[in-house]
Amino acid sequence: MSDDAASRIKEIVESNDVVLWMKGTKSMPQCGFSSRVAGVLNYMGVEYTDVNVLSDDSIRQGIKDFSDWPTIPQLYVKGEFVGGCDIITEMTLSGELDTLLEQNGVAYDKDAADKIREANG
């Protein structure tokens, strides 16, 4: 990973409370896994920064190297890597994502989170 990509990734991760590294954007995801995670965050009303890895190959590979995680999307909360699509889905359904957001002072719609669990329970 180039020093430039590493410093850009580090700056984005550290300067935003919630960051979703994804294929596409939160309003137009370009893969099913990115769409699922963005959909959860959007539905729960989480304010987050989306980074389209398809727009820059050095960032696309760089974020994988940065997190030591092989797939996109990747969710970061308060500078910490949380996981990819499967992990975020499991955390949403178990309530762990609610806890993580609460512990980090990130606002979200608890009723919306409960509705996701009801619909998938």
Classify 108 as helix, strand or coil.
coil
**Residue 20 contacts residue 73 (beta carbons within 8 Å):** yes
Alpha helix (H) ranges present in the chain?
Answer: 3-15, 32-43, 57-67, 85-94, 96-103, 110-120
Is 85 one of the annotated binding-site residues? Answer: no
- Residue list for the binding site: 31
Binding residues for [2Fe-2S] cluster: 31
